[in-house]
Structure 1
Amino acid sequence: MRAFSVPLPTVLAGFVAVLVGYASSAAIIWQAADAAGATASQIAGWLTMLGIGMGFSTLALTLWYRAPILTAWSTPGAALLATSLPGSSINEAVGVFIFSSALILICGATGLFARLMRLIPHTLSAAMLAGILLRFGLDAFVSLQGHFLLCGAMFAGWLLAKARAPRYAVVVALITGWVVCLVTGEFKTESITMSVVMPAFTAPHFSLSSLLGIGLPFFLVTMASQNAPGVATLKASGYSVPVSPLMVVTAAIALLLAPFGVFSVCIAAITAAICQGTEAHPDPAKRWLAAAAAGVFYLLAGIFGGSISTLLTALPLAFIHTLAGLALLSTIAGSLHQALNHERERDAAIVTFLVTASGLTLAGIGSAFWGLVAGGICYGVFLTARRA
């Protein structure tokens, strides 16, 4: 019997997904927790439980559906919390977490969210995904301005490997960047400390003002800016997974772990795309292995939640930006191809792409949601005009 094995690029895709997820928004989590008055020890405990919650949910959903389903915290939601929680107690913050997760659970159990997602045309989903990922592709090359040697070497390594051994292109880029960081002294190993912090239980406190003023906007932002793009990413990548169970499982885990600082567990979009592209595996039916690897790395990140911040500060931000951008190039290209391949839907798709890529925020809701709204309006108007 042939031994079961997972290719290195597949494992690496899972690692990069987790690395990008933590590197891009762990600092925002710290700000949100600090705004609620959490101590350094409590914040480390929050990161521990977030990693465990995301790891368990990613593994459970991925293994059950055999599809690359990644979960993540809500980065837009964390940003909202960071600006809304000052003046609130940490107990009120936990009450907000519970309230929001309960609302998401209700949406999933009633099937309301699934019905809404079925109304979104495939071209608009792909356009929104391309718009979400565009910034990461641009950042990979913008980083050349301040870190030409590091980013240029990573791009050169990726390019050569892409021409000769495409599956290992991101591996080569990562190794090249790590070597350059070591040689130039940009990888500050002396600042890395390994520590395990046990999460502490925080009793929730529910106040009408915090639930309506923070909890309800947090729920809307999480659904519109995280879960909707996450489900659309799955759809755009060709994976038909029942939506309602995804909402129920992630919301239930977040609800259970909320007293330990898990403010949200959502369907990932940006990091999931890394595990849903050709770099993760040439066979779409086996890309779930990359998501499973990500689940394991999530659990490891959770166990060492107290060490995450020191590890992130040991690597230059340009390294993370370049690695993420290179890992997502094929996904961006594929999404644009799907979005613009249908002539009748092309104008609506390009509106979705541009509004999403613009990064605008209206009423506290991010551009991914408004991109779908704008594109959907165009789609409906053009469809009505053709039928007239």
Structure 2
Amino acid sequence: MVGFSSSFALVLTGLRGVGADRDQAVSGLLLLCLGMGGLAVWLGLRHRQPISIAWSTPGAALLASAGIPAGGYRAAVGAFLVCGLLLTLTGLWPRLSSLVAAIPTGLATGLLAGVLLPLCLAPVQAAFHLPGLMLPVLAVWALLLRWARRWATPGALVALLVVLAVRTPLHLGGTADSLLPRVTLTTPTLTWSAVIGIAVPLYVITMASQNIPGIAVLRHFGYDPPIRSVLTATGLTTTATALGGGYAVNLAAITAALCAGPDAHPDRGRRWIASVTAGACYILLGLTAGVSAALLTQAPPQLVEAIAGLALLPTLGSALAAALAEEKGREAAVLTFVVAASGVSAYGVGAPVWALAAGLALRLLM
């Protein structure tokens, strides 16, 4: 529930940001839930480890800020396909994962922070432009952050729906059948600008901020995860769901400790039940994708982005802390951050790629 409600709005926003219409965005949310839910169940039962699977939350933030590529949504789907193939290749060829892991932590986390910053500014902007709607939501979020931290973002989402219902009655519209999510396939188009501007940074961010931290969480709690098997499976799942809007399936990082930690079960050998249960819940939640999207269409787009921004504030904080932790290379990390946050684009290549290139160049120079 925490994983879904805290970022499904961001997933829909990200897919719409690269040109998907409502049905295509709902299809992506459905397939992501089915893919990561089924994968969590299978990996948990097979390896008897709490291997939590999620969509790439930072990847969705990247899509939300990337803009519609040349070639439209079809080019974005082609980029999803390339990202899935890169993730699969990483599992089959360990050398590739070693190269990604070799990217300095400061640069990787600076890149992540720069991608997240524009979305994290949305709550502030919404509070000034739509105070009657946003301030009650912020109050609920702040109180829950103090007293029930893991429910802060889901609580803010519920508060938003309550405020909207009070101010303007909610209308889902259509028949019950129209609210059922459907798979909408899109013929992909491969363009260099989408591959370089979306697929490559999506792959790097997913590996650096999801898969590598996800492995670290499992090892922290005493597990030896089957890395090659997991990376190959998530890559193949991403590839299989790409035509329907599945942009990236990966190891959970933000919510991984919920299943792998002692709160799940005192016996480390029994915690796999938690990740399998979570996977089954994701499958059920995926079937509500049409209703979820219909509810969010009742809210002004700025408010939807604000909820996504609230969900990403802890991630932004940890990314900035990691980027600035070491004095050596700090200038390169800051440069990576500001270039990524600037949103600049040149020659069809987006800010994340320029940010990583600028950070690496300055680090080599220094």
Q: Taking structure 1 as the reference length, what is the TM-score of the superposition?
A: 0.69
Aligned residue type for 2:313: L
Cα separation, 2, equivalents of 1:105 and 1:245? 10
Query: Which residue pairs with 1:113 in the alignment?
Result: 96
Query: Which residue pairs with 2:207 in the alignment?
Result: 231
Contact kept in structure 1, 2:50 and 2:276, CA below 8 Å: no
Q: 2:109 aligns with which of 126, 142, 145?
A: 126
Query: Which residue pairs with 1:155 in the alignment?
Result: 138
Deviation of 1:372 after TM superposition, in Å, equals 2.0
Contact kept in structure 2, 1:97 and 1:262, CA below 8 Å: no
The SS at the match of 1:70 is: strand
Cα separation, 2, equivalents of 1:19 and 1:282? 25
Q: Deviations over 1:84-132 (max 9, x none)?
A: 169x9xxx99999767755653454223531321221112222122112
Query: Which residue pairs with 2:5 in the alignment?
Result: 15
Q: Percent identity?
A: 26
Q: Deviations over 1:34-64 (max 9, x none)?
A: xxxxxx7x88766644542344346556886
Deviation of 1:323 after TM superposition, in Å, equals 2.1
The SS at the match of 1:129 is: helix
CA 1:275–1:306: 2 relative to 1, 3 Å: same
The SS at the match of 2:297 is: helix
Query: Which residue pairs with 1:275 in the alignment?
Result: 255
Q: 1:334 aligns with which of 306, 318, 322?
A: 318
Q: 1:53 aligns with which of 23, 35, 38?
A: 35
Cα separation, 2, equivalents of 1:310 and 1:355? 35
Q: 1:144 aligns with which of 127, 132, 137?
A: 127
* Alignment RMSD: 4.4
Q: 1:355 aligns with which of 322, 334, 339?
A: 339
CA 1:170–1:200: 2 relative to 1, 3 Å: closer
Aligned residue type for 1:188: L
Q: 2:306 aligns with which of 322, 335, 360?
A: 322
Cα separation, 1, equivalents of 2:29 and 2:260? 33
Q: 2:328 aligns with which of 331, 344, 347?
A: 344
Unaligned runs of 5+ in 1: 1-10, 34-39, 383-388
Q: Deviations over 1:243-277 (max 9, x none)?
A: 7555522332244456xx335542469xx675369
Contact kept in structure 1, 2:85 and 2:235, CA below 8 Å: yes
Residues 229-268 of structure 1 aligned to structure 2 (within 5 Å)? 229-234=205-210, 235=212, 239=217, 245=229, 247-257=231-241, 261-262=243-244, 264-267=246-249
Contact kept in structure 1, 2:29 and 2:245, CA below 8 Å: no
Unaligned runs of 5+ in 2: 220-224, 265-270
The SS at the match of 2:34 is: helix
Query: Which residue pairs with 1:368 in the alignment?
Result: 352
Aligned residue type for 1:84: G
Cα separation, 1, equivalents of 2:33 and 2:345? 28
Query: Which residue pairs with 1:191 in the alignment?
Result: 173
Cα separation, 2, equivalents of 1:291 and 1:370? 37
Count of residues in Structure 1 that have an aligned counterpart in Structure 2: 345
Contact kept in structure 2, 1:104 and 1:248, CA below 8 Å: yes
Cα separation, 2, equivalents of 1:77 and 1:332? 16
Deviation of 1:150 after TM superposition, in Å, equals 1.6
CA 1:111–1:251: 2 relative to 1, 3 Å: same
Cα separation, 2, equivalents of 1:14 and 1:44? 14
Deviation of 1:199 after TM superposition, in Å, equals 4.3
Deviation of 1:220 after TM superposition, in Å, equals 4.1
Contact kept in structure 1, 2:238 and 2:246, CA below 8 Å: yes
Query: Which residue pairs with 1:25 in the alignment?
Result: 15
Contact kept in structure 1, 2:15 and 2:63, CA below 8 Å: no
Cα separation, 2, equivalents of 1:45 and 1:324? 19
CA 1:282–1:135: 2 relative to 1, 3 Å: farther
Query: Which residue pairs with 1:84 in the alignment?
Result: 71
Cα separation, 2, equivalents of 1:302 and 1:123? 35
CA 1:193–1:302: 2 relative to 1, 3 Å: farther
Aligned residue type for 1:122: T
Aligned residue type for 1:345: G
Query: Which residue pairs with 1:5 in the alignment?
Result: none
CA 1:149–1:328: 2 relative to 1, 3 Å: same
Determine if the alignment matches structure 1 residue 312 to structure 2 residue 296. Answer: yes
Deviation of 1:139 after TM superposition, in Å, equals 0.7
Contact kept in structure 2, 1:274 and 1:327, CA below 8 Å: no
